[in-house]
């Protein structure tokens, strides 16, 4: 449906120029989308940016936000004297880190260079190291409770064959599969690998749930996670903070009878009361009646 906001000839020309880059590299796409959003160049044909993205490009506002964020990261990295990340996913891995730095004040090129270099050096040491030391297997009672809430588990995006003997997901992605690069659908159990990798997995889970690809999910993160920037959106969902330290097991470490931290379980889905009933045995459950998806979108629009 056409809108009653007429663009000037200069604006129409600029819109056509910006739309011409939308199928190119993620950096150009992100910058183009940001200018279209911030200058409201969509207003002649669409009532808002969300409608423009869906009708013109067949992706959501959230997806546009991902591209915009990745382009901003790439620009910061290049300005610091480093080559741009070769893929959008590698750029997005740094989004939460840079946001947290911005929240504390101005970010210097020296900080950007140090953080990006260290992050990619750590990632380049090999996925095998991650599989050996950063996967922690969830205790069976937790998985059984997850099955009672979800019914079945269609996908575990961060797992391996041994872990899946307990999780019993229909499908799972290993480190070699790179779960962040794969499509996620259905009912999800997610215990992200440690080592600073929780943020990208959590962001993808929320994105896939909000667009409807994931129908329901239970997320498990460690008990020290709640003060991270990437954790903030999770407060909109039912959360269980354990009142004890569950005995997670690392396949390359000796079992310990004294676990060193608690856990947090977060539910995304249509049955929050059932989640509360099942997971209250592990600790306190908050947000048993989370805001609706529409209210979360409204809040996100205000924040944007």
Q: Same domain for 195 and 283?
A: yes
CB 41 within 8 A of CB 79: no
Per-residue pLDDT tens digits for 100-150 = 667 666 778 877 887 777 666 555 544 333 433 456 778 889 999 999 999
20-27: long-range pairs with CB below 8 Å, 24+: 22/57, 26/67, 26/70, 26/71, 26/74, 26/87, 26/88, 26/91, 27/70, 27/71, 27/74, 27/75, 27/84
Kindly tell me if the per-residue pLDDT of 23 is higher than 60.
no
Per-residue pLDDT tens digits for 24-68 = 578 888 999 999 999 999 999 999 999 999 999 888 998 999 999
Residue 297 confidence (pLDDT):
52
Per-residue pLDDT tens digits for 167-203 = 999 999 988 888 888 999 999 999 988 656 788 899 9
Q: Same domain for 257 and 219?
A: yes
> What CATH number is attached to the domain comprising 207?
3.40.50
Tell me the pTM. 0.54
Task: Count the domains in the chain.
Answer: 2
The domain boundary residue, chosen from 95, 124, 153: 124
Cβ–Cβ contacts within 10 Å for residue 39, how many? 13
Residue 53 confidence (pLDDT):
93
Q: Same domain for 186 and 94?
A: no
Whether residue 155 lies inside any domain: the answer is yes
Average pLDDT over residues 206-215: 94
By residue range, what is the domain housing residue 32?
9-124
Residue 260 confidence (pLDDT):
55
Residue 211 confidence (pLDDT):
93
Please report which confidence band the pLDDT of residue 4 belongs to, taking 50, 70 and 90 as the band edges.
low
Q: Same domain for 137 and 96?
A: no
Q: Same domain for 110 and 144?
A: no
Computed over every residue of the chain, the mean pLDDT equals 81
% of the chain residues with pLDDT over 90: 40
Q: Same domain for 16 and 49?
A: yes
Q: Same domain for 47 and 179?
A: no
The domain boundary residue, chosen from 124, 141, 176: 124
């Amino acid at each position: 449906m056409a809108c009653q906001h007429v663009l000037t000839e200069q604006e129409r020309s600029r819109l056509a120029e910006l739309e011409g880059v939308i199928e190119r590299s993620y950096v150009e796409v992100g910058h183009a989308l940001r200018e279209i959003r911030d200058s409201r160049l969509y207003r002649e044909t669409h009532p808002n940016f969300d409608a423009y993205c869906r009708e013109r490009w067949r992706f959501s506002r959230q997806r546009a936000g991902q591209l915009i964020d990745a382009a901003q990261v790439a620009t910061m990295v290049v300005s610091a004297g480093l080559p741009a990340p070769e893929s959008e996913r590698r750029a997005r891995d740094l989004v939460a880190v840079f946001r947290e730095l911005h929240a504390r004040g101005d970010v210097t090129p020296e900080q950007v260079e140090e953080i990006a270099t260290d992050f990619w050096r750590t990632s380049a040491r090999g996925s095998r190291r991650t599989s050996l030391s950063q996967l922690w297997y969830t205790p069976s009672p937790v998985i059984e409770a997850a099955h009672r809430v979800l019914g079945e588990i269609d996908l575990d995006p961060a797992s391996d064959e041994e872990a899946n003997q307990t999780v019993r997901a229909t499908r799972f992605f290993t480190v070699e599969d790179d779960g962040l690069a794969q499509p996620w659908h259905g009912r999800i159990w997610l215990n992200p690998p440690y080592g600073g990798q929780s943020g990208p997995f959590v962001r993808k889970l929320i994105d896939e749930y909000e667009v409807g690809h994931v129908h329901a999910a239970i997320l498990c993160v460690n008990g020290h996670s709640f003060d991270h920037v990437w954790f903030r959106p999770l407060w909109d969902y039912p959360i269980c903070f354990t009142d004890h330290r569950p005995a997670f097991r690392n396949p390359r470490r000796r079992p310990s009878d004294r676990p060193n931290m608690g856990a947090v379980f977060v539910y995304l889905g249509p049955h929050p009361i059932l989640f509360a009933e099942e997971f209250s045995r592990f600790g306190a459950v908050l947000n048993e009646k989370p805001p609706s998806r529409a209210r979360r979108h409204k809040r996100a629009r205000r924040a944007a």
